[in-house]
Structure 1
Amino acid sequence: MSVLVEFAIFPTDKGDSVSKHVSKVIDLIRNSGVPYQLTAMGTLVETATLPEALDILNRSYQVLEKDSKRVYITMNMDIQKDKNNRLKTKVEAIENKIGAVNK
């Protein structure tokens, strides 16, 4: 099973720049060992199970809620059985199609 999660999480009570706080979440994800991709607007994570994905979201919240009165989270999920490594293969599939069109 492949659970892709795209999410953004940040405190809303820390001013204009929250990168110091978000970096703590990214450190948690990095140390979890799951594949992830940091983007300018959020983070993509791939886990093998839904509980594992939800655990990462919960732990990410716990990192921020210690020092924040308000935390904002957006999330999208794509769950597909009998698949894995989609964080990489979905992007490769599009890049291959772009390459075929440009030939």
Structure 2
Amino acid sequence: MSFLVEFAMFPTDKGESVSNYVSRIIKMIDSLGIPYKLTPMGTVFEANTMEEALEVINNAYKQLEPDCNRIYTAIKMDIRKGAQNRMEGKIKSVEKKLNKKINI
């Protein structure tokens, strides 16, 4: 099963630039060894179970909670039985139909 998750999480009480805080979350995700992609508006990762997906979100929150008083979070999930490696597969499917490589 594939749980494709796109989320954004950052403090809203730390000024205009929050990259230092987002970096904490990315470092944590990277340490888990799960596939992910950082985008300008959020992060996409793939998990095998709902529990695993929610654990990543919970751990992301724990990176910010100690010194952030207000945290914004948006989460989208696409859950599909019998599928894997959809982060790459979905892009390749569109590229095949366009007959060209997409810059991401």
* Same fold, judged at TM 0.5 (above): yes
2:33 aligned residue: 33
How well do the aligned residues superpose, as a CA RMSD in angstroms?
A: 0.9
Unaligned runs of 5+ in 1: none
Tell me the SS of whatever aligns to 2:99: helix
Give me the TM-score of the superposition, normalised by structure 1: 0.95
Give me the TM-score of the superposition, normalised by structure 2: 0.94
Residues 47-86 of structure 1 deviation map (CA, whole Å, 9 limit, x = unaligned): 0111000000000001001110010000100000110000
Distance 1:47 1:75 in 2: 14
Name the aligned partner's letter for residue 32 of structure 1: L
> Where in structure 2 are the equivalents of 1:1-103 lying within 5 Å?
1-99=1-99
Unaligned runs of 5+ in 2: none
Distance 1:81 1:30 in 2: 25
Q: Which runs of 4+ in 1 moved over 4 A?
A: none
- Taking only the aligned residue pairs, the percentage that are identical comes to 49
Moved more, 12-21 or 91-100: 91-100
Matched positions, count: 100
Distance 1:67 1:4 in 2: 29
Distance 1:5 1:67 in 2: 25
